[in-house]
A and B are shown apart, each in its own frame.
Chain A
């Protein structure tokens, strides 16, 4: 026990001195998550066999907790046991059943690791895992044998309630030898348990203590939301912080994330960067950061609150620059992680430091940042060209200052305004809304980039400026409801602008269109030819839970649909998120081509998208592959079906 405390102490000290992140609001939501995700093991069941295996060991661990106290009493005197529980037949049964089930589960775990050998374990500490599993097996086996010896000696109140131990009791004669064996077994059991406890704080198995608080501290907001890093240039020098440079910059949750990782590799398995041969694996990222935090523990504790102990920069020591820039911020890792590690937020924090403090980022992305800074759009196009797409659509109303507030504002987005492919989507949306009798009001030249690409790139200051300017424009125009066509704009407007004083009801165009169909304001026309497969945009789907509206619109368009193997929450990114749209891609394969191949393999004739980034990426992939499969926005497919004249 003393050893455990001594070994756990440094971990706790680092957590105590880490930056607070105020993740304690809405305790009800947090408690519910604790029940569903920790007690209910929900995310573990995303994989059937490993899920059942883990849940068995976890529930067994809970049920067998009183057994430790039982063994502690029994080592003093074989006759001592817990009041009530030590004599209850039902508890004897549960203890027996779960000890046996855990033993079986350990066997399954070994089967997964040694026979099945999934790729997600690549880079994990396999030996350590073996040792942990063997210790668990030793704990439950010694428990069963100890109980068996007690049955043989007649100490047990309810031998038949413990069928496994009862069957094993035949191994013991019940004589003097059994008495000795009973002593040895209870000591073995207890020492294994205590040894395990002592081993824990320095092992990847620490998650049995950290997972529950980590889940409690997880983000309540949609996963697409990033915590602001307020930059006030007039503040005292000491208060200005530009993201995570060294270990002491990490927040409490970020450190707890590191201690909570068991290296299961579920994140690695779903990561688009890893899947296409890039160095980034969310698991290896967390392990790299953890190793550095562990190595620097004493310096970290000494350095806070304002010491000057030398800490090594996290990049490139714990993780390389390339790893940090490979991330598409799709959130597949976060969504998959059973203990709610927030890889993406940490990556963005590392980027913030690299971009704002060191000006260190892939050079080709510089044009995007310059464009956003100087022209307020990533491509550096003139603001006056923002209405070019609306030529010939006389019913599109460009809001002038002083105009009455619009019922709903159509947020076109930079891609929707400037990219010729996305313009087709924008026109389709506008024509559909006009046909349904919805006024199409846009800000036109007064619209600016939401700042999303700059923010995901780590340029929080630039994002902050744009957010404040846009909020001022939107509030000045009396906007209360916004329809956005870009999934990234949608996420930023809906989830992130409230931090900057912009509270609006934000819907995505697929939501508005599906409502109009449901209300009968858009009458379904002729069904589209061929089948359609819908590609979920990360920032619409996984990050914000909008899965059904785009599918309803496709249904409204009369399309026959087919799903890709990876869909909805587990959709695979197009490769453009996290400002990757403006970076060159390395690795063995391209993310967009990988995803397009998956779409084409469904046999669909059309890949439907709901975000201009996905559109550009998948359309590029379609052209590169020479495939005849076409890529089109859901709105364009609906327009082709509903509107009398062909879309232009």
Chain B
């Protein structure tokens, strides 16, 4: 009887969507499918894991899994593997999945295949090479269990509606196996929506003359409501805004409904990142600026006059 295991990742006590995808794949590979869920809230996810196809869920709700980076998970998983000898263990290709899989590999000495897009057979993993131009199947050799990191959203989850038996696993981790302790979690505070998701983007370039002028764009974005602020490479290179603002060839590619380009000349480097916008509004004092040729609405004028006036008008009409 072959057994396939799935490492079910939890984020803040909530089951990650990858677990159901991996269980769907695991069911095609083995007669018996189990999931491993570790960390606060793990036992509670057993119902979801059962519905997604796991017959057994090895779970521990211990805090130690949330307060360390990969070490405790690898220790527990390594022990379980030794005890139950599954044929294959699937991990999500996430930061945590990669962290744990690598540590488990170091413990078990088995084969680890990264960046798989599918697992067509128990000893085969599919991956892309040459930047995705060619798809190849890789034969998994060496001692079992084979460890495979599967890229998220490679398969669609198909629930079975089953239930799982919960097996509680102890979380007694020797000091030496704890690894790095998580001291602090910090999420980059982003005001407004993500650039890639925003329906309206207000973007600034060299024509803004300095970092202070971006406050003007922030004001316009908040007047519009739900708009994001971006920048051209020139503004980022000048150090006015961080790289995360950059739109263009070497930055983000965006496709908003409306893109407002303020003081951006429209160099090719920038244009390739925003040409997918449905409507482009450009404000530039240079009537020859290439951005004006591609804009649906081009305003030849001083951004320091146009932007505040526009902000004022939007505020007036929206009655705020």
Contact = CB atoms under 8 A, between A and B. Distances in A.
Interface of A: 233, 355-356, 359, 364-371, 373, 378-381, 418-421, 459, 461-462, 582-584, 590, 616, 620, 623-624
B131 A373 contact: yes
Contacts of B251: 364
A364 B267 contact: no
B234 A620 contact: yes
Contacts of A364: 249-251
Contacts of B130: 356, 459, 461-462
Contacts of B266: 420
Interface residues of B, number: 21
A583 B250 contact: yes
Given A381-B272, A461-B130, A616-B267, 16 more contacts: A356-B129, A359-B115, A359-B129, A359-B131, A364-B249, A366-B131, A369-B131, A419-B268, A421-B267, A462-B131, A462-B133, A582-B249, A584-B243, A616-B269, A623-B234, A624-B234
A233 B267 contact: no
Contacts of B234: 620, 623-624
Contacts of A359: 115, 129, 131
Interface in B218-264: 234, 237-238, 243, 249-251, 253
B284 to A, nearest CB: 13
B131 A370 contact: yes
B146 interface: no
Contact of A418 (B131, B134, B253, B268): B268
Contact of A367 (B238, B267, B272, B290): B272
Nearest to B290: A420
Contacts of B131: 355, 359, 366, 369-370, 373, 459, 462
Contacts of B272: 367, 371, 379-381
A420 B250 contact: no
Contacts of A421: 267
A49 B249 CA distance: 47
B103 interface: no
Given A359-B131, A373-B133, A620-B234, A367 B249 contact: yes
A616 B248 CA distance: 15
Closest 10 CB pairs of A and B: A364-B250, A420-B290, A419-B268, A379-B272, A461-B130, A369-B131, A367-B249, A584-B250, A379-B268, A418-B268
A373 to B, nearest CB: 6
- Which of B243, B268, B272 has the most chain A CB within a 10 Å cutoff? B268
A479 B252 CA distance: 39
Interface in B111-160: 115, 129-131, 133-134
Interface of B: 115, 129-131, 133-134, 206, 234, 237-238, 243, 249-251, 253, 266-269, 272, 290
Contact of A233 (B134, B237, B249): B134
Nearest to B136: A233
Contact of A365 (B134, B250, B253, B269): B250
Given A233-B134, A359-B131, A624-B234, A368 B249 contact: yes
A418 B267 CA distance: 10
A587 to B, nearest CB: 12
B194 to A, nearest CB: 17
A359 B127 CA distance: 12
A371 B134 CA distance: 16
A379 B267 CA distance: 11
A459 B131 CA distance: 9
Given A420-B290, A623-B234, A624-B206, A379 B250 contact: no
A233 B133 CA distance: 12
A508 B115 CA distance: 44
Where chain A touches its partner, the secondary structure class is helix
A373 B131 CA distance: 9
Contacts of A623: 206, 234
Nearest to A368: B249
A582 B250 contact: yes
Contacts of B133: 373, 461-462
Contacts of A373: 131, 133
The CB with the most chain B CB atoms within 10 A, among A369, A582, A584, A616, is that of: A584
A365 B269 CA distance: 12
Contacts of A616: 267, 269
A365 B248 CA distance: 11
Contacts of B268: 379, 418-420
Nearest to A362: B250
Nearest to B237: A624
Q: Which of B129, B234, B249, B251 has the largest number of chain A CB atoms within 10 A?
A: B249
A356 B132 CA distance: 10
A529 B134 CA distance: 55
A362 to B, nearest CB: 9
A337 B115 CA distance: 41
A461 B269 CA distance: 25
A367 B253 contact: yes
24 contacts: A359-B115, A364-B249, A364-B250, A364-B251, A366-B131, A367-B250, A367-B253, A370-B131, A378-B249, A379-B268, A381-B272, A420-B266, A420-B267, A421-B267, A459-B130, A461-B133, A462-B131, A582-B250, A583-B250, A616-B267, A620-B267, A624-B234, A624-B237, A624-B238
A423 to B, nearest CB: 9
Contacts of A378: 249
Contacts of A370: 131
Contacts of A365: 250
A337 B290 CA distance: 44
Nearest to A366: B131
B290 to A, nearest CB: 4
A76 to B, nearest CB: 62
Contacts of A233: 134
Contacts of B243: 584
B102 to A, nearest CB: 15
B64 to A, nearest CB: 31
A583 B250 CA distance: 6
Contacts of B290: 420
A369 B259 CA distance: 26
A648 to B, nearest CB: 11
Contacts of B269: 616
A573 to B, nearest CB: 17
A590 B237 contact: yes
A134 B138 CA distance: 58
B37 to A, nearest CB: 30
Nearest to B128: A359
A169 to B, nearest CB: 70
A582 B272 CA distance: 12
A370 B273 CA distance: 13
A615 B250 CA distance: 18
Contacts of B134: 233
Contacts of B238: 624
Nearest to B288: A420
A377 B315 CA distance: 43
A612 to B, nearest CB: 10
A371 B249 CA distance: 10
B198 to A, nearest CB: 19
Contacts of A419: 267-268
Find the residue from B131, B133, B266, B267 having the highest chain A CB count within 10 A.
Answer: B131
A368 B131 CA distance: 12
A355 B132 CA distance: 12
Nearest to B133: A373
Contacts of A459: 130-131
A584 B236 CA distance: 10
